[in-house]
Amino acid sequence: MRWRILVLTLSVVVFAEMARADAHAPVTSTGGCLSADVGALRTDDSGAVLYRIVFLNHCEAPRNFFWCAEHPYAQLPATIACRAQGGLGADPRHAIRHRKEFQWHLPPGARIRFQDCPSQEAPTADFGCAPLATSATRR
């Protein structure tokens, strides 16, 4: 009898935690100037949530950034999915001066990761920054 009460209590706690996690997509950052606000707008018939992802630049200078989404169990759109190794792809990069907004349908509980770099640098696959490659070399 005690096991049933314990299992029931644990089940309620786990389901409550899952419901709270599904309310918004958690955000992680390794950069220094950007913050992201992620909010759920609505859920469609398939169960996917329409998320509004708003990035804000808190530094005075423009930044380059890349963002991606990850989920431990659900499939994500290939164009915004973080790579299996946990790194970022090279593109698409975005420039931000003040604010940039995106909207995507993602499975509940998706996590948003992003990296921001100074305007002279670009995000790298290991969530770092590297100098931008120049398109022409001067001689």
pLDDT in tens, 10-61: 444 433 333 333 445 666 655 578 999 999 888 877 788 899 999 999 998 9
Q: Domains in the chain: how many in total?
A: 1
Cα–Cα distance, 33 to 57 (Å, whole number): 6
pLDDT at 132: 84
pLDDT at 23: 44
Cα–Cα distance, 24 to 41 (Å, whole number): 9
Domain, as residue range, for 74: 24-131
Does residue 97 contact residue 43 with C-beta atoms inside 8 Å? no
Q: Is residue 139 in some structural domain?
A: no
Q: Report whether pLDDT(86) > 60.
A: no
- Average model confidence (pLDDT) across the chain: 75
Q: Is residue 2 in some structural domain?
A: no
Q: For residue 88, give both structure tokens.
A: 């970022």
